[in-house]
Amino acid sequence: MQNRAHQLAISSERLADILQLQPGRAHEFCGPARRTLAVWLMARLPMGAPVIWLRPGWSAEHLHPQGVAEWASPAGLIVLSPPREAEALGCAEEALRSGAVALVVIELSSPPALTPLRRLHLAAEAGLARRADRQLWGVVLTPEQGDAPGVESRWHLAPCDARASTQSQISPIWRLERLRARMAPKAAWHVTTSLDVTTNA
């Protein structure tokens, strides 16, 4: 665990250079490893910083703190399970508007409509104005290729074939794609277990 945390500390700055998310806005993470990408974003926050994670109350899948701890501190993680997606969107909106947390993650079964997305943007802008550190993000997790209308940026993360590391061990690897961003073109990278990034993937 200490070794992984050390690797994360060394390489997270490089990942942060790529995963540029404008604060005070709602962003979309999609693909089979979208939750992993959200946890990587959590790792950029101060240890123990409160994070609200909204997951479907009817889903059999659960977010386990031990799995989160592989990458980020789960100390400030608050997991809520609203019974309906409309309620989850409402909770996300209120959490963003309060400015009490730096990150709000909401898992959805399909991309939200434009109106709820705009409400998330407005709430995030209001919450950002209340935060002295000027750090606040809303992240919508959607399956497959996402396609939520009106998001500030859209990122896709998926596992791909493992590669041999320098220690002759097999290491997991992911393909990170920027599918949409207002101020940047589409691009793709490979990310290794230690969050080292290979450009022009």
Domain definitions of the chain by residue range: 2-198
Stated pTM of the model? 0.87
CATH fold of the domain at 2-198: Rossmann fold (3.40.50)
Confidence of residue 125 (pLDDT cuts 50, 70, 90): very high
Has residue 53 got a pLDDT over 80? yes
Name the token pair of 146: 């996402």
Has residue 19 got a pLDDT over 50? yes
Confidence of residue 196 (pLDDT cuts 50, 70, 90): low
Confidence of residue 168 (pLDDT cuts 50, 70, 90): low
**What's the mean per-residue pLDDT of the chain?**
85
Report d(CA 139, CA 24) in Å as an integer.
11
56 by Cβ neighbours in 10 Å (0-12 / 13-18 / 19+) ranks as middle
Confidence of residue 69 (pLDDT cuts 50, 70, 90): confident
Report d(CA 136, CA 121) in Å as an integer.
11
C-alpha distances out from residue 42 to 78, 115, 186, Å: 12, 26, 23
Residue 128 phi, psi (nearest 5): -60, -35
Q: What SS3 state is found at 106?
A: strand
Report d(CA 176, CA 143) in Å as an integer.
15
